[in-house]
Structure 1
Amino acid sequence: MGKNIEGEAFITDHIFSYILHGKHDVWVGGKKYSFQEGDFRFFKRNQLSKYVKNTDNGGFKSIAVHIDQTTLKEMSKQYSLFAEETYSEGEAFFIQPDHKLKGFVESLTHYLQEPKVDERIVLLKTQELVFLLLENNPSFKNILFDFAEPGKIDLEAFMNSHYRYNVSIERFAFLTGRSLSGFKRDFEKLFNTSPSRWLIRNRLEDAKYQIENKKEKPSEVYLELGFEDLSHFSYAYKKAFGYAPNKRI
């Protein structure tokens, strides 16, 4: 039995992906998505995500294409492709594939064993994918060709649903549509404490609840709650509550 692969990531580019083998749970925007072999899926850019890749029964394997902003801006200029409205129906979703998308994925499998693929081929395949997605669902135009950066959003709602992510204060500022100084100013006005102290306190309170009420093990919760290693988590937990996390299980 393989060990599941867990982690978190900031999705910088739009991502199209197809699962060749295995199962994949992803949390984006406070919502859990469960994918399995044969699923076509799409992730919007500028999102925080957590994931678990199931490695049982042969492991996990997928094909992913990152659709970068430079390519999309060049296509927008060359083919007059522009977003007509803001797409707000989800940060990640399944794609109902047609025969062309299936053929596209099959064409990519020939490159899986290559140590390095010619950048010109990568560009052409990315452009091909964009046109296939637009043909599959015209609403993709409002996702792919929306070049706006995150606007100023509700800080309290965002932080309460994203405090478990182990990312920098600068990243939180960017995702809430603020400069670093503006983020710190708004944060302290709202929460009456600094972002770093608030994040640690909320993560530890969450950990305490999971350990004492849901009987989770410290080794099962520390990564989920944004701590980099178990020893740091145990030290912070004992400092906050006066006893080690494994003392109340």
Structure 2
Amino acid sequence: MAKQNLNKFTDLVWTVTEEGIYKDDLSLDFHSFVLIISGEMKIIQADKAYTFGAENVLLFPRNQISAVIKQPKDGRPYKAIVFGLTVERLKSFYTKEKPNLSVAPDSSVRILGDQPLLKSFFSSILPYFELEQNLPESIAQLKFEEAISILRFIEPNIDSVLADFSEPGKINLVDFMEKHYKFNMPLEKFAYLSGRSLSTFIRDFKKAFQVTPQRWLTKKRLELAHFQLSKKGRKAGDIYLEIGFENLSHFSFAFKKQFGYSPSEL
């Protein structure tokens, strides 16, 4: 499990350390401004994949369903600083600053490159983890505004993402689930991102697929696993995380229950 070191102002900044391989399927409700100190992070989305290493700085937009795999590299653990850009603080910022909305929102993960301002910003954050008292709100607000100012300087069109406060609208459920079934997300999150309440999501799902979401998700993931094992020659230990299972034993049990033989028999 991820080891997180939180400063006293936890809605803004924390560090994450992984000594081994760690995978999580998530969709955050805030933008993540991240510096990777060591190790490697892979972000897998429905139609894109990214790999980041030491000294990479990225902006990870909110409400994006992703599988995130963190692992050591070159003998060093995965370690990163994460600065959270919450909707509440962004709304407050843009009441004072007029956003540049000349381009459409682009939810792609952004690699921010080698910029002196980025290095300076993240270096200034590290001492916060040594504090024994609360970080004053006045300082927290200054650092937040500094983060936004740097992002706006580096990416002139970033306002189209940061100042987009819209909530997910109701979309085609079949298309949405066919794209995202591999991600091990709570049904509540699937419902929200498809623009539905949980009860409406379950009702619409049963109408569209003639089965409960849990049964359909398990069946789809196992069918994908069978294809990867039998046609692509991959091994169970290499794919179970990618297709939405939390551990190898659970995957092997479910696979044998579905097909009548274990993954290793393929």
Task: Find the aligned partners of 2:54 and 2:236 in 1 and give their Cα distance.
Answer: 31
Q: Spell out, residue by residue over 1:96-150, the C-alpha distance to the aligned partner (whole angstroms, 9 max, x if none).
A: 4543233212212333444676152333312210122122223111111111111
User: What is the TM-score normalised by the length of structure 1?
Assistant: 0.87
**Is 1:158 matched with 2:182?**
no
> Shift of the alpha carbon at 1:171?
0.9
**Is 1:19 matched with 2:36?**
yes
> Shift of the alpha carbon at 1:205?
0.3
> Shift of the alpha carbon at 1:173?
0.8
Contact 2:105–2:160 (CA<8 Å) still a contact in 1? no
Letter paired with 1:47: Q
Letter paired with 1:53: K
2:69 to 46, 52, 75: 52
Report sequence identity in percent.
35
Letter paired with 1:110: P
Q: Spell out, residue by residue over 1:4-48, the C-alpha distance to the aligned partner (whole angstroms, 9 max, x if none).
A: 333322222101111222222111343101112222210110122
Regions of 4+ moved over 6 Å: none
Aligned match of 1:108: 125
Q: Compared with structure 1, are the counterparts of its residues 84 and 15 closer, same or farther at alpha carbon in structure 2 (3 Å cutoff)?
A: same
Structure 1, unpaired ranges of 5+: none
Question: RMSD between aligned alpha carbons?
Answer: 2.3
Contact 1:97–1:136 (CA<8 Å) still a contact in 2? no
Task: Find the aligned partners of 2:254 and 2:78 in 1 and give their Cα distance.
Answer: 34
2:213 to 195, 211, 221: 195
Contact 1:13–1:44 (CA<8 Å) still a contact in 2? yes
Deviates more, 1:84-93 or 1:236-245: 84-93
> Shift of the alpha carbon at 1:246?
2.0
Q: Compared with structure 1, are the counterparts of its residues 230 and 4 closer, same or farther at alpha carbon in structure 2 (3 Å cutoff)?
A: closer
Task: Find the aligned partners of 2:169 and 2:99 in 1 and give their Cα distance.
Answer: 19
User: What is the TM-score normalised by the length of structure 2?
Assistant: 0.82
Letter paired with 2:189: R
Task: Find the aligned partners of 2:189 and 2:166 in 1 and give their Cα distance.
Answer: 16
SS in 1 for 2:33: strand
Structure 2, unpaired ranges of 5+: 1-18
Task: Find the aligned partners of 2:206 and 2:100 in 1 and give their Cα distance.
Answer: 36
Structure 2 counterparts to residues 147-186 of structure 1, below 5 A: 147-186=165-204
Aligned match of 1:130: 148
Contact 1:25–1:32 (CA<8 Å) still a contact in 2? yes
**Is 1:237 matched with 2:218?**
no
**Is 1:40 matched with 2:57?**
yes
Contact 2:107–2:161 (CA<8 Å) still a contact in 1? no
Contact 1:83–1:144 (CA<8 Å) still a contact in 2? no
Aligned match of 2:106: 89
Contact 1:165–1:226 (CA<8 Å) still a contact in 2? yes
Aligned match of 1:144: 162
Aligned match of 2:7: none
Contact 1:83–1:143 (CA<8 Å) still a contact in 2? no
Task: Find the aligned partners of 2:51 and 2:68 in 1 and give their Cα distance.
Answer: 10
